Structure 1
């Protein structure tokens, strides 16, 4: 029997480009080559799709972040049958064959936000992870919180700052944010990996923080600071019709002296420890896992997700956010949580591919 053809897609046109490559490197190393034929595809910062070059680097080396090597053959995905075509200068386009499933190890805009998912739906190609709507809502923290709140889940008090409001009605926006109290955390509304986030202690810092976040996204989210421990839980779709499963929860403890769980803490060595399972009362653990699945289902997620919580000193659980394509290196939080729950990284990769193959494209 012929092998299942899996296109592992990574990179992307956003500030999480390097994070995507790190996850793709882990997936490519773990995927079962006896079972799957793998086509590694990079999306460059300028939007070109290329076949991964032989010397493609996936890991951080010193302070050098990886990026897609564009020396490989340029690729195109026609809008039918999932056939990948190589486009070499001066040569007739040559088909590389049909792809059975796409594993998009992509984060941020033009990858995790429903845009790529829409392209794959149009092409009729199965893919790992959530569909168009869940991906889009999960990427936009403002709409995500609306959906979570409508589902009865507690969220952090916040103010959404749209581009036009900041440009034309700044005084009103600042007054509204001031009512949250100080300090506040300022985030791009549609970015991840802690990119563009800063803490503001007063109005002067707030305006600078908003301008900084706007370098990543013209839409900004400002949240009240929450005193509490950062607890994370991964959710995974079940094969068949069983309910999604929640992992054991883990607590992120920042070691490197950062004010909060920032990019360096997440992706540079020896910056955090993940305490798994998190030291929580049994009833809190049970409630947290139940809330994680509720959040997953509220957005209509598919495949996988990671749900982040605050656990306050008085025992309250607050949903911070949900990630429809969480960090996916073998040492990232979600894979570590599944390892502690009994599912090793190679088996996690295999299960996600099988889930994608079992799921139809189109309305479902």
Structure 2
């Protein structure tokens, strides 16, 4: 077994995706071949053997810097460690709270191989690769020179032009020459025209990139790419306080804003270096709010050496992963088309499920697809990349291919291009990671000019792979049911993929993915091959299923890579989907994990079908599931049992359409403004809005009760609905009184997970985990904050202690209240309960349940994994406990049914 050091996080602006990608590698490495060791790289390039429980935090900011080290922040700004303004030694002391700080010199004793999931600076620029080579440690991907070329976009463009690759016109602007003034516009229009693209030279994930349609927007785009901006007193004073705070949050974000620390320059050219956003807010209030200065200039310390201007490329955008075979030959996998208009394929679109569409292979004649592959292979060879790379580009209407972004590493989230295209040749993520490690060992052994042990490591790995291939393990088959047809279908796919991957990399289970589609009265099941499981979202999977065919290019590439698939996939992989009935499902397995959210999934209908056939499943049984999905009925039941809940109105579409004005007026009179409006039976923050007046409520109901798929314009304008934001059509709206602090000493929103265990006496014991405090950047916790890597913040355990009051007795009260709620609603298996908590000066904690999720989201970073880690469960252990409970419950139910028949 090889010790694989997984380098994650890092100092770059892409650190959150690098952290999430490292977690994907950790989870998917074949545990029978590799021992994963997470190595956290902090903002200063220091290393730490990360305690495993921190690996499952949603954001680096959830655990580093530790909560105890955070300065007071009245506006709850989320910061990275560099905002503390610490010395290197002081930051190392903080690292000791999340693991064991280590030096580079210790690495050879700790790891056999370095898997680099870092992005940007340190990960893709050759720096870390050079240090590892000096230490004699083999690493993944390309070598030093190729990595450096892959990261520096400006020099890369010059190299590609010299190599005869098609290129748009480019112009480089150096930071040393940048004075905040526009370049020669007449010359620019003549050379490249508008629109054009502005990009920093050393960033990925579309960070700092803008498409500029007209000359008047160019200055702002250049400022953005150099990570600086100017703000005037007039602009500051025109914003409301809420708008100022939101502006600050965006500024704080190292992906879309400047990040901290930053330099502030006044009209007299005096400069101050500020580390924390509260410092900047106070300065802006003083200088701009009170009119002491007409304007201030802000400049991030994470600056760029140069910025590129590129002619806009009209064409169809694609991304193509290129890999090497055992002889070092480049093989391009099927290129994927990014379906969009002229909008930027930005960070949010790249990484949040359901916001982008990808088509593999790109929909073009075979000859053109082959031309794309050949050009990508040629660039791979020209830049002397190793092992794998992701190459982005465009194909124009005349067939010209322009490659504009070769990357020596790729995002490693489950549905990234990296895994997405490998799945087309039959490799699941675990297989593909084994391939990467094997080929990287080959590349290092071939190119290293001094004696090394790389060949020995390679021989060890191949020996272990042969041993596993010869073993026939008794694995338990598990159907992982995902998808659906609700507004939560994309998150269901994310959850199901995560469950599948955790089980697939274990030595205990043989999972197979089952996609549910259709409609309530006609549900259809399909067993998915791995290539469909790793499509970008539920709609892509459904469309592929309903129009299934194997593209000739895919067949060709499978033939070219058959030797790779045979070497790394172990047992044969399914390459085509298969329709299943529930009866056929029961012939395949007696165990299912339902990864569906909302309807269908949490409404009890699927549970009834499975129970009928003796298939054990996770979560609550049918009746309880049908109750908890209804936020009105479940809270009313809790209220009848004496538990405090907020005031509610259940408003039907028919009643509203009959008396719209009266309905709006009654809502305001009973609940007051603002109020919360939401669907009665959806989760995942789908269409949950804070409504401030009758006009906004009218817009919300127009959207929820609409007949057409397209949202009414009134709703888009009044509710600020984001592009591609899911907004379901329903027959009922749930209106709730806004829960507020009132006279409590402390007030917060929490989410708490629980797990059930069967006791020897037949009773059920509830294990209630420590509460997580949820912090929303806006009025409502968003989909991104729940599920997008690096967004939002969950503090676990929640900050309950206030004044002289201690955490333990307050947490005990909250957990007891939530266990009582679960028992009243008949919840079993596991669940997540969201609630508001008021803490009073006398030590009393009042818990108001918001909703109960009988099948909570199980995406990699969901906070239920933060909570289970405190109790010693790694994610796989938690999933195994969930499945075990379901099996034990099914066995008990079968015995009970048999005894009743007798």
Please give the TM-score of this superposition, normalised by the length of structure 2: 0.36
Partner of residue 204 from structure 1, selected from 216, 221, 234: 216
Cα distance change on mapping 1:163 and 1:175 into 2, 3 Å: farther
1:150 CA drift (Å): 1.9
Partner of residue 46 from structure 2, selected from 33, 48, 54: 48
SS in 2 for 1:211: helix
1:207 CA drift (Å): 1.4
Of 8-17 and 335-344, deviating more is 335-344
1:301 CA drift (Å): 0.6
- 2:321 is aligned to 234
Cα distance change on mapping 1:5 and 1:310 into 2, 3 Å: same
What does 1:135-284 align with in structure 2 at a 5 Å threshold?
Answer: 135-167=147-179, 176-178=187-189, 179-215=191-227, 216-239=303-326, 241-254=327-340, 259-284=343-368
1:26 CA drift (Å): 1.1
Question: What are the Cα deviations for residues 86-118 of structure 1, in whole angstroms up to 9, with x where unaligned?
Answer: xxxxxxxxxxx3421100101001221111111
> Which has a greater percent of helix?
2
Is the 2:194–2:215 Cα contact (8 Å) retained in structure 1? no
Cα distance change on mapping 1:260 and 1:172 into 2, 3 Å: closer
SS in 2 for 1:73: strand
- 1:127 is aligned to 139
CA RMSD of aligned residues (A): 2.3
Is the 1:128–1:352 Cα contact (8 Å) retained in structure 2? yes
Of 300-309 and 41-50, deviating more is 41-50
Match status 1:336 vs 2:428: no
Cα distance change on mapping 1:68 and 1:351 into 2, 3 Å: farther
Supply the distance in 2 between the matched residues of 1:298 and 1:305 (Cα, whole angstroms): 13
Is the 1:17–1:67 Cα contact (8 Å) retained in structure 2? no
Is the 2:38–2:52 Cα contact (8 Å) retained in structure 1? no
- 1:17 is aligned to 15
Question: What are the Cα deviations for residues 174-221 of structure 1, in whole angstroms up to 9, with x where unaligned?
Answer: 555333101111111011011111122233311111111111523111
Supply the distance in 1 between the matched residues of 2:316 and 2:62 (Cα, whole angstroms): 31
Supply the distance in 2 between the matched residues of 1:98 and 1:56 (Cα, whole angstroms): 20
- 1:86 is aligned to none
| Structure whose CA Rg is larger | 2
Cα distance change on mapping 1:210 and 1:41 into 2, 3 Å: same
Cα distance change on mapping 1:76 and 1:186 into 2, 3 Å: same
Question: What are the Cα deviations for residues 34-88 of structure 1, in whole angstroms up to 9, with x where unaligned?
Answer: 1112211011123221112232245757xx9777674111111118xx42xxxxx
Matched positions, count: 341
SS in 1 for 2:105: coil
Partner of residue 322 from structure 1, selected from 406, 416, 422: 406
Supply the distance in 1 between the matched residues of 2:61 and 2:195 (Cα, whole angstroms): 31
- 1:90 is aligned to none
Supply the distance in 2 between the matched residues of 1:258 and 1:167 (Cα, whole angstroms): 30
Match status 1:73 vs 2:100: yes
Supply the distance in 2 between the matched residues of 1:175 and 1:296 (Cα, whole angstroms): 36
Match status 1:32 vs 2:59: no
Note the residue ranges of structure 1 that are not aligned, 5 or more in a row.
Answer: 84-96
Of 353-362 and 129-138, deviating more is 353-362
SS in 2 for 1:357: helix
Is the 1:248–1:337 Cα contact (8 Å) retained in structure 2? yes
Supply the distance in 2 between the matched residues of 1:174 and 1:362 (Cα, whole angstroms): 49
Is the 2:182–2:219 Cα contact (8 Å) retained in structure 1? no
SS in 2 for 1:194: coil
Supply the distance in 2 between the matched residues of 1:72 and 1:123 (Cα, whole angstroms): 22
Cα distance change on mapping 1:164 and 1:28 into 2, 3 Å: same
Question: What are the Cα deviations for residues 209-253 of structure 1, in whole angstroms up to 9, with x where unaligned?
Answer: 1111111523111111111111111101212x2411110111111
Is the 1:6–1:101 Cα contact (8 Å) retained in structure 2? yes
1:307 CA drift (Å): 0.8
Supply the distance in 2 between the matched residues of 1:277 and 1:172 (Cα, whole angstroms): 40
- 1:4 is aligned to 2
Cα distance change on mapping 1:76 and 1:175 into 2, 3 Å: farther
Supply the distance in 1 between the matched residues of 2:53 and 2:347 (Cα, whole angstroms): 26
Supply the distance in 2 between the matched residues of 1:299 and 1:196 (Cα, whole angstroms): 25
Cα distance change on mapping 1:132 and 1:275 into 2, 3 Å: same
